Amino acid sequence: MSKCLVTGTFDPITLGHEDLIKKAIATFDEVSVAVLINPDKTPLFSEEERVSMIEEAFGEKVEAFSFSGLAVDAAKCVGANALVRGVRGDADIPYEIEMADYNRAWGLETVFFFASDSLRDVSATETRELLKKGVLPDKMMSERTGRLAMNYLEAKNG
């Protein structure tokens, strides 16, 4: 049985992230999605909110959880034998190759999926900026996760 881990900060989950996870679901028997906690970043959404948005998008098709630490350790925790990473363009490749080499040294192979043409420009940073302005970024987020994100922000801002 093949099992993969898809990692990211998912702040918030975008259509690009969803595309990547759908490709993983189509390729692997089981898919886990780890919201990796990066102490160098200040996310707009909490760990719980980001996990909830992933669950909203995929339901029982994936196991979503938050994890503080290395992707290889998260993969070991869930028994994944591959790490799935997305590539939007040429600029991503050097970094992703470096990380794949690192992960391989720890016994974890990386599988790359290229972003669909229509989603290459989708950015979580731009998505966050639109959400902060109260704009539902329907070209960057699914309606379901976009509305959930807006609800979270409305609750925070009172």
Q: Residue 158 above 80 pLDDT? A: no
Mean pLDDT in residue range 117-123:
91
Q: Residue 84 above 80 pLDDT? A: yes
DSSP for 68-82, written as a single string: -S-HHHHHHHHT-SE
Q: How far apart are CA 33 and CA 17, in angstroms?
A: 10
- Side-chain-side CA neighbours of 71 within 13 Å: the count stands at 25
- Which stretches of the chain are DSSP H helices? 15-27, 47-58, 71-78, 93-105, 124-132, 143-157
pLDDT in tens, 58-83: 999 999 999 999 999 999 999 999 99
Q: Which domain holds residue 64?
A: 3-157
pLDDT in tens, 86-106: 999 899 999 999 999 999 999
3 has which bridge partners? 30
Give residue for tokens 């938050």. 66
In one letter, which amino acid is 30? E
In one letter, which amino acid is 23? K
Mean pLDDT in residue range 143-157:
93
Count: domains in the chain:
1
| CATH code at position 102 | 3.40.50.620
Q: Residue 1 above 90 pLDDT? A: no
pLDDT band at 52 (very low <50, low <70, confident <90, very high): very high
pLDDT in tens, 8-44: 999 999 999 999 999 999 999 999 999 999 888 899 9
In one letter, which amino acid is 93? I
Q: How far apart are CA 94 and CA 100, in angstroms?
A: 10
Task: Give me the pLDDT at residue 104, please.
Answer: 97
pTM of the predicted protein model: 0.94
pLDDT band at 156 (very low <50, low <70, confident <90, very high): confident
- Cβ partners under 8 Å of residue 72, min gap 6: 83, 103, 106, 107, 108
